[in-house]
Chain A
Amino acid sequence: GAVVSQHPSRVICKSGTSVKIECRSLDFQATTMFWYRQFPKQSLMLMATSNEGSKATYEQGVEKDKFLINHASLTLSTLTVTSAHPEDSSFYICSASRDRVYEQYFGPGTRLTVT
């Protein structure tokens, strides 16, 4: 159990467009979902934490108007990168937790390239 999927796995978009990334917990209900970003040869940086039906909590330095997070159900969270720029190119990874927030199950990640 505890499988998390992400879609798409890879996306290339033009600068100024918006991209939506979906994160789904397939076999459990996720009380909390997390969005991370990872630049090459760097560690995972938490962008935001979201609970179903609530507004996401963003980390310092992460623009909430640029990275829109919607946690519509206990199995789905979406991250929309609005007006993407080349510096937003990164590996975006979601994770989900059940009852213990520190036990996070990671999705396979989405490689975003903005040209």
Chain B
Amino acid sequence: QKEVEQNSGPLSVPEGAIASLNCTYSDRGSQSFFWYRQYSGKSPELIMSIYSNGDKEDGRFTAQLNKASQYVSLLIRDSQPSDSATYLCAAYSGNTGKLIFGQGTTLQVKP
């Protein structure tokens, strides 16, 4: 079992729709969770961090965390073609001191 799992996709949504990206993690010691956006050929860019259960909103992005279910999600409202990228979920465990990345979900927003 991978430590951080994501569906590789591609996830295709029409412009203006809500894109929902999901991630599960196996290490219950994970404390902090991050979503990164990575355009093809570029390095990851941090877009959201979440540390406690519940929702965290920032503009068109909402991160959701459920530690009991070991589940993290990212919602992108009013999706734009410029949101087309690979979204990486990452979990940080204080036990290991490492940031572990999922394989990423490719999002395609069609105009």
A residues near B (Cβ < 8 Å) are 34, 42-44, 46, 49, 93, 101-109, 111
- CB proximity of A25 to chain B, nearest CB, Å: 14
User: From residue B95, how far is it (CB to closest CB) to chain A in Å?
Assistant: 12
Q: A-B contact count, CB below 8 Å?
A: 40
Tell me which of B42, B49, B99 contacts A109 (CB under 8 A): B42
Are A44 and B42 in touch, CB under 8 angstroms?
Answer: no
10 closest Cβ contacts across the A-B interface?
A102-B92, A109-B43, A43-B103, A43-B101, A106-B43, A44-B101, A102-B32, A93-B43, A108-B43, A106-B44
Contact B97 A101 (CB under 8 A): yes
- State whether the Cβ of B46 lies closer than 8 Å to any Cβ in chain A: yes
**Residue from A34, A49, A102 whose CB has the most chain B CB atoms within 10 Å:** A102
Contact between B99 and A107, CB atoms less than 8 A apart:
no
